[in-house]
Chain A
Amino acid sequence: MADDKSIAQAYWKANLRLIAGCLVIWALSSYGFGILFRPWLAGISIGGTDLGFWFAQQGSILTFIALIFFYAWKMNQLDKRFGVNEE
Chain B
Amino acid sequence: MSQFAINLIFVGASFALYIGIAIWARAGTTRDFYVAGGGVHPVMNGMATAADWMSAASFISMAGLIAAGGYANSTFLMGWTGGYVLLAMLLAPYLRKFGKFTVPEFIGDRFYSSGARLVAVTCLIIASVTYVIGQMTGAGVAFSRFLEVESDTGLMIAAVVVFLYAVMGGMKGITYTQVAQYVVLIIAYTIPAVFISLQLTGNPIPAFGLFSEHTESGMPLLAKLDQVVNELGFRDYTADVSNKLNMVLFTLSLMIGTAGLPHVIIRFFTVPKVADARWSAGWALVFIALLYLTAPAVASMARLNLLNTIYPDGPTADAIKYDERPDWIQTWEQTGLIQFEDKNNDGRIQLYNDSAEFAETASQRGWNGNELSVNNDILVLANPEIANLPPWVVGLIAAGGLAAALSTAAGLLLAISSAISHDLIKGSINPKISERGELRAARISMAVAIVVATWLGMNPPGFAAQVVALAFGIAAASIFPALMMGIFSTRVNNKGAIAGMLAGLLSTVIYIFIYLGWLFIPGTNNLANTPDNWLLGISPLSFGAVGAVINFAVAFTVSAMTEKPPKEIQELVESVRYPRGAGVATGH
Which A residues have a C-beta under 8 Å from some C-beta of B? 1-2, 8, 11-12, 15, 19, 22-23, 26, 30-31, 34-36, 38-39, 46-50, 52-54, 56-58, 60-62, 64-65, 67-69, 71-72, 75-76, 79, 83-86
Contacts and interface: CB of A to CB of B under 8 A. Distances in A.
B251 A86 contact: no
Nearest to A85: B579
Interface string B549-588: 0000000000000000000000000110111111000000
B577 A15 contact: yes
Contacts of B33: none
Given A56-B78, A57-B77, A61-B289, 12 more contacts: A23-B85, A36-B248, A49-B222, A57-B66, A61-B81, A64-B285, A65-B289, A68-B88, A75-B93, A79-B579, A85-B275, A86-B581
Minimum-distance CB pairs A-B, first 8: A48-B220, A47-B211, A48-B223, A56-B74, A48-B222, A68-B282, A72-B278, A57-B296
Contact of B210 (A50, A56, A57, A65): A57
Given A71-B89, A85-B275, A34 B78 contact: yes
Interface residues of B, number: 52
Contacts of B238: 48-50, 53
The DSSP consensus for interface residues of chain A is helix
A46 B244 contact: no
A47 B222 CA distance: 7
A65 B224 contact: no
Contacts of B221: 47-48
B313 interface: no
Contacts of B582: 86
Contacts of B223: 48-49
A54 B275 contact: no
Contacts of A67: 85
A21 B81 CA distance: 19
B163 to A, nearest CB: 35
A23 B88 CA distance: 11
| Chain B residues touching A, majority SS | helix
B296 A58 contact: yes
A50 to B, nearest CB: 8
Contact of A75 (B247, B275, B289): B275
Nearest to B247: A35
Given A30-B82, A54-B211, A72-B279, A1 B74 contact: no
A65 to B, nearest CB: 5
B256 to A, nearest CB: 12
Contacts of A2: 578, 580
A65 B50 CA distance: 13
A64 B285 CA distance: 8
10 contacts: A1-B581, A11-B577, A11-B578, A36-B248, A47-B210, A48-B221, A58-B296, A61-B77, A64-B82, A69-B282
Contacts of A23: 85, 89
A52 to B, nearest CB: 8
A75 B89 CA distance: 10
Contacts of B580: 1-2, 83-86
Contacts of B71: 53, 56-57
Interface in B167-192: none
Contacts of A54: 211
A57 B93 CA distance: 28
Contacts of A72: 88, 275, 278-279, 281-282
Contacts of B126: none
B273 interface: yes
B54 to A, nearest CB: 13
Contacts, number: 146
Interface in B273-302: 273-275, 278-279, 281-282, 285-286, 289, 292-293, 296
B59 interface: no
A38 B74 CA distance: 13
B202 to A, nearest CB: 14
Nearest to A50: B238
Contacts of B248: 31, 35-36
Interface in B213-253: 219-224, 226, 238, 240, 244, 247-248, 251-252
A84 B251 CA distance: 35
A62 B289 contact: yes
Contacts of B281: 68, 72
Given A8-B574, A49-B223, A68-B278, A19 B293 contact: no
B84 interface: yes
Contacts of B577: 8, 11-12, 15
A20 to B, nearest CB: 10
Interface in B417-432: none
A38 B581 CA distance: 46
B308 interface: no
B302 to A, nearest CB: 15
A34 B72 CA distance: 10
Contacts of A83: 580
B77 A76 contact: no
Contacts of A36: 244, 248
A50 B74 CA distance: 14
A64 B286 CA distance: 9
B275 A79 contact: yes
Nearest to B289: A61
Contacts of A47: 210-212, 220-222
B207 interface: yes
A15 B88 CA distance: 12
Nearest to B201: A47
A79 to B, nearest CB: 6
A4 B527 CA distance: 58
A30 B579 contact: no
Nearest to A68: B282
Contacts of A56: 71, 74, 77-78
A22 B282 contact: no
Contacts of B274: 86
A22 B275 contact: no
A49 B224 CA distance: 11
